[in-house]
Amino acid sequence: MTYTKTLGIEIVVSNWYREDLSNEANSNYFYNYEIIITNRLSVPVQLLTREWHVVHLLHGTSTISGEGVVGEKPVLLPGEEFKYVSGCELINSMGMMYGKFFFKNLDLEEIIYAEIPTFNLVYPDLLN
C-alpha cells in the first residue's frame, strides 16, 4: 500500500497481480489496483481528469489521460472518500505506475491536482 497527501487530498493505492488474466508465455502481465481518494479539505471537490504514467521495465513509459475514473466524476464533500478498482496490463514482468488526479474546488471554481503515489507492479515469482 502506498500513500500521498497533496493539498488536502489523500490518495491510498493497493495493488495485486492477476494470474487468472495474465499469460506469461505471451508476455501479458495483468494487475489490479484499488484507489481510495479522501477529501481532507474544508470545501467540496470534483474529480475531473486523471493522468497516469505506466513504466514498462524495458519498453519505456506510456502516458494515459482522460476524464474521470471508471466512468465517473465523483464529487467529494469534506471528509468523504471515493474508492474504485481498475487494472493495468504490462508487457514485462515488472513496472510501476504514478500520476495525478485533477479536481475542481467547487467553492473557488479553481483546478487543483493531487499526486498519485508511485506503486510497483511485480510478477510474484520474481519476489522469491
Show me where the domains of the chain are located.
2-123
Note the pLDDT tens digit of each residue in 20-42: 999 988 989 999 999 999 999 99
Q: Which of 28, 26, 33 is nearest to 1 (CA)?
A: 33
Nearest Cα to Cα of residue 83 among 18, 38, 30: 38
Confidence of residue 128 (pLDDT cuts 50, 70, 90): low
Task: Decide if pLDDT at 93 tops 70.
Answer: yes
Taking the model in full, what pTM does it have? 0.93
> Using CA atoms, how far apart are residues 19 and 116, in angstroms rounded to an integer?
25
At residue 69, the pLDDT reads 97
Residue 92 pLDDT: 86
Helices (H), the chain: none
pLDDT band with cut points at 50, 70 and 90 for residue 124: confident
pLDDT (0 to 100) of residue 58: 82
CB distance 34 to 85 below 8 Å: yes
CATH superfamily, with its number, for domain 2-123: ApaG domain (2.60.40.1470)
Give the residue-averaged pLDDT of 91-99: 93
Cell 476524464 belongs to residue: 67
Structure confidence at residue 95 (pLDDT)? 95
What pLDDT, on the 0 to 100 scale, is given for residue 106?
97
> Which 3 state secondary structure label does DSSP give 123?
coil
